[in-house]
Amino acid sequence: MTRLLITGGHGFLGSAVKREFEQNSPHLSQVHTFRSSEYDLRKRDAIKALLSDKKPEVVVHLAATVGGIGANMKYPGTFLYDNLIMGAELIEQCRIFGIKKFVLAGTICSYPKFAAVPFKEDEIWLGYPEETNAPYGLAKKILTVQLNAYKKQYGFNGITLLPVNLYGPGDNFDLESSHVIPAMMRKMDAAKRAAQESVTLWGDGSPSREFLYVDDAARAIRLATERYDASDPVNLGSGSEITMKKLAELIARTVEFEGQIIWDSSKPNGQPRRSLDVSRAKQFGFTANVTLPMGLQLTYQWYLDNFAKLQELFMSSGKGEQPRTSK
């Protein structure tokens, strides 16, 4: 039997990953999670205490300081330092403690700004990331280098997974820090409730993105943990690309918002295109199951079911887009 530790296990992705392992990995004896208030992964002594207390054999590292474009532009030092120091210290202590396997959740923000589409894992080293999220992307990228170096020098078994943009029930709908799908969904729902004639969205609508339903991502992480041991990073995505303009139209239909969508081209677009080559993930049996229209319906239904609770949370939250650390 195996003891598993998930960092960020109370966050959006982490909660889904914990549920996935508990439901589909009968060989696990324990699945440990914790909150950042208990063990601060930016501090070496806290990591030592965590590993000593939980005694894991496998670590899945999902904890990260994250946010939207605005937060990445305002707090680049925070995004670089927090993500780099958490990962680097955790990997080093896991090596020292004799952890059998380390699974790193990287980011497609590590890809070059003008990477050829679809993104192929071997081309992640061919250029500098998109400027608005480069510190975050580079911090995660160096952790992949660290895992490869540790495998060569110490025989440490570490793998890197590169999830595309995630969404689904339980996502962050705070407009100050949310990513694109929950932000669009909440804006259009609010506009519909207020009988507003339009909503304004950032950019010009031309960039494309790929999205992966959170439960699909959790299943991919479990399968990779159980079946994949190579040093090569692996894209986790749906294999389907959509422009922001078409995404907005699809969300409007999901929410039943019939007003005008206005694009504010004075705001940044971010990376021009994001679409992944997902063939490598098929080596360990992963393909996405949930289509974008289906996933949006499930996500919006969750939002409606939790609307009152979310409104209380929004009212009590502070102002200004801040970095968020997954719990």
What tokens were used for 216? 């699909």
Residue pair 73/59 in contact (Cβ under 8 Å)? The answer is no
Q: At CA 2, angle to CA 229 and CA 142, rounded to 5?
A: 40
What tokens were used for 166? 């995630």
Map residue 231 onto helix, strand or coil: coil
Q: Rounded CA gap, 285 and 268, in Å?
A: 37
Going through 118-243 in order, the beta strands assigned E by DSSP cover 158-163, 165-167, 198-202, 208-213, 234-236, 241-243
Question: Would residue 111 show up in a list of annotated catalytic residues for this protein?
Answer: no
**Where does residue 59 rank: exposed (0-12), middle (13-18), buried (19+ CB within 10 A)?**
buried
263-267 long-range Cβ contacts below 8 angstroms, 24+ apart: 263/200, 263/201, 263/202, 263/203, 263/204, 263/205, 264/200, 264/201, 264/202, 264/203, 265/203, 265/204, 267/202, 267/203
**Where does residue 293 rank: exposed (0-12), middle (13-18), buried (19+ CB within 10 A)?**
exposed
Residue tagged active-site, from 39, 111, 136, 167: 136
Residues annotated as catalytic are: 136
